Chain A
Amino acid sequence: MNNPFNILNKNTGTPITDEPTAADLAARIKNIIDSSDLVLFMKGIPDAPQCGFSANVVAILNHLKVEFKTFDILSDMDIRQGVKEFSNWPTYPQLYFKSKLVGGNDIITEMYESGDLQQVINS
């Protein structure tokens, strides 16, 4: 979708569509998390988030004009359950930077407001 009038909040997130096939769930999760510096596990896609918290994190990343990949956990129950256990974090969204969990909506919002988020993703 190319809307020439939407110049302020351009979506910088891209849903992952070319996930390499992997033998088991752990390898799939690793592939997804390693696929980009910034990976967001969310409900829905950046153009159509299915949850207010996911929408909020997408809006923050768009505002910072950073490129990120997204994975829609509603589309895959194995990943949805597996990532929770992998990260020992019970909720979505989850933002990963360089394959490490940075936080969910509360943490990302707090880090954005304090300026820590910008510092982390520029490191």
Chain B
Amino acid sequence: MAEIFNYVENKIKSHLTDAQVKVTDLTGTMDHLGITVASDAFQGKMLIDQHQIIMDILKEDLKEKIHAVQIKTMTLKKFNEL
């Protein structure tokens, strides 16, 4: 697993301790990342607010390391039904 994947996963988990995180490389260049996060922190929140939680966590990284992200968020309940 690439270093950036571990880095993103650990960073998100340090903020959302119950999170299940899956990171993928969308373009083969390791700077366009697909990030799926399941956490009960998203319960009852609008999608925009769920995405904003992740964007805030990665804010500094998006200025340099990561060029673009495609975020998918869900609750743990929904994640376990997949």
| A contact set with B: CB distance below 8 Å | 88-90, 101-103, 106-107, 110-111, 116
**B51 with A103: CB separation less than 8 A:** yes
CB distance from A95 to the nearest CB of B (A): 9
Residue on A nearest B62 in the bound complex, by CB = A90
Interface size for chain B: under 10, 10 to 19, 20 to 34, or 35 or more residues?
10 to 19
Judge whether B47 and A103 touch: CB under 8 Å.
yes
A106 CB contacts on chain B under 8 angstroms = 51, 70-71
Interface residues of A, dominant DSSP = mixed
Q: A90-B55, A90-B62, A106-B71 are in contact. Are A101 and B47 (CB under 8 A)?
A: no
Q: Give B contacts to A, CB under 8 Å.
A: 46-48, 51-52, 55-56, 62, 70-72
Residues of A within 8 A of B46 (CB): 102
Query: What number of A-B contacts does a CB cutoff of 8 Å give?
Result: 24
B52 A89 Cβ-Cβ under 8 A: yes
Residues of B within 8 A of A102 (CB): 46, 48
7 contacts across the A-B interface (CB closer than 8 A): A102-B46, A102-B48, A103-B47, A103-B51, A106-B70, A110-B72, A111-B47
CB distance A107 to B62 under 8 Å?
A: no
For chain B, what secondary structure do more than half of its interface residues adopt (helix, strand, loop), or is it mixed?
A: helix
CA distance A110 to B46 in the complex (A): 12
Within the assembled complex, what's the spacing in Å between the Cα atoms of A70 and B48?
Answer: 20
Kindly state the separation between the CA atoms of A78 and B51 in the bound complex, as whole angstroms. Answer: 25
What is the minimal beta-carbon distance from A33 to any residue of chain B, in angstroms?
14
B25 to chain A, nearest CB (A): 18
Give the docked Cα–Cα distance between A118 and B70 (Å).
Answer: 23
Measured in the bound complex, the distance between the Cα atoms of B70 and A102 in whole Å is: 16
CA distance A39 to B51 in the complex (A): 20
Given A90-B55, A106-B70, A106-B71: A101 and B48 interface contact (C-beta under 8 Å): yes
